[in-house]
Amino acid sequence: MPRRSRRRAWGSIDSAIPNKKYVLRWTENTPEGRRRRCETFYGTYREADLRLAQIRVERAADKPVPTIGEAYKTWYLPELERRVSDGEASKNTLSQYTHIWKKVIEPRWSRVPVDSTRALDIQEWLLTLSRGNANQAIRILRKIMDVCVRYELAESNKFREVFDMPKKQSRERSRDVYTLREAADVFGTLHGKATEAAFILSCFGSCRTGESLGVKVAELDRRETDGLVFALAPITRQMERTGDFPTGTLKTKSSKRTIIVPPPYSLRLLEIADERRAEGIEWMTHRGDGLPMTTRQLRHEWNTENEKSIPFANCRNSWRTFAEFEWNVDAATLELLMGHRLPGVSGSHYLRPTIDQLYETFSSQYAEYFFGLRQS
């Protein structure tokens, strides 16, 4: 039975197909005078009601001051989704930010008008949160209110005031890293295990967790310099917590890069690639049926195979530490191999080394370390 028409203070919603298709109608001022407008909307009645509310905020003559929740759904969330679809942000970022909105921000601020925020209320609320949640929440709220100030819906962005942030953390994250000797020991114990390839790509090649699972067998490149064999792999995709295949969206645009794994770890990585190729498996790290392992599965396998291990995500931190302080590779080269943009004007606009240039620098500096270690 079609939904009965409801009396509304502004506009109307007519049901074409209940909970599937609606026609939104309203009147707005235009340079040619007042005009009736309509829009066909596909979705549930609740979503259609929200859409009409958004239209009123944007176009009505008596534009009501939107709430922070309406501003989030009208401007912030669509822009974040666009950035994900354009490859400017990752799905993990979208998932994380929407989670913080729903669990932390929405209960307190969703119904507050954008022109009715007070710095004292914000400060008191922040101190009830953990440090991590507070930092993420204030970052999101600042961006939401920036749009409201731009559109002259609020005079100022109270969330951009300087606040005392909470000291407590909901969960203390381990900051432990492997030394080069410890990483080499783990390298030996993982031989033939499910996480071996991902570990090499991360701990000796700088990959983030999801990136280490998105490398294909056919993509590995073998290069030799001064008798040393290096393995190169392009980083163009990453696995998520769930799913069968990796996404082409990385953390940032700079994350798209080629990594370099030095010997002796490169030799084992190339050997694994040959084993996968012989088995007809496409991915360097797979879950047993040929499909790539998810980050959730990787962490489970990692904790199973390494009883006293550091978190897998810290393998990248380990690489960054011993690559500079033990391999003696210069910091700028390492930052670029990590997928970071160098600081300053030069880093943003001028320095654009090719992978061949990075390889020449990295391989020559590593060779000095490697042959110096042999002589000593």
pLDDT band at 196 (very low <50, low <70, confident <90, very high): very high
Is position 31 within any domain? no
Asked if residues 235 and 339 have their Cβ atoms less than 8 Å apart, the reply is yes
Is position 279 within any domain? yes
Closest CA to 317 of 296, 333, 338: 338
Pull the structure tokens for residue 339.
């997928």
Among 41-45, 55-59, 144-148, 265-269, which is the least confidently predicted range? 55-59
What is the Cα–Cα distance from 266 to 229, expressed in whole angstroms? 7
pLDDT band at 33 (very low <50, low <70, confident <90, very high): low
**For residue 194, which phi and psi values (nearest 5 degrees)?**
-65, -35
pLDDT band at 243 (very low <50, low <70, confident <90, very high): confident
Pull the structure tokens for residue 236.
């163009």
Q: What digits encode the pLDDT tens for the residues 56-69?
A: 877 776 666 788 99
Residue 235, pLDDT above cutoff 90: yes
Is position 20 within any domain? no
User: 185 has which bridge partners?
Assistant: none
Is position 94 within any domain? no
Residue 323, pLDDT above cutoff 60: yes
Is position 287 within any domain? yes
Which residue range forms the structural domain that includes residue 195?
A: 180-375
Residue 317: predicted pLDDT: 96
Is position 349 within any domain? yes
Rg value, the chain, Cα: 26
Q: What is the mean pLDDT of residues 303-329?
A: 91
Residue 59: predicted pLDDT: 74
Q: For the domain that residue 193 is a member of, what is the CATH number? A: 1.10.443
Q: For the chain, how many structural domains are there in total?
A: 1
Residue 165, pLDDT above cutoff 80: yes
In degrees, rounded to 5, the angle at the alpha carbon of residue 187 between the alpha carbons of residues 183 and 188 is 120
What is the Cα–Cα distance from 258 to 138, expressed in whole angstroms? 35
Q: What digits encode the pLDDT tens for the residues 210-231?
A: 999 999 999 999 999 999 999 9
Q: What digits encode the pLDDT tens for the residues 104-140?
A: 999 999 999 998 899 999 999 999 999 889 999 999 9
Could you tell me how many residues make up the chain? 376
Q: What digits encode the pLDDT tens for the residues 342-358?
A: 888 888 888 889 999 99
| SS3 at position 151 | coil
Is position 230 within any domain? yes
Is position 296 within any domain? yes
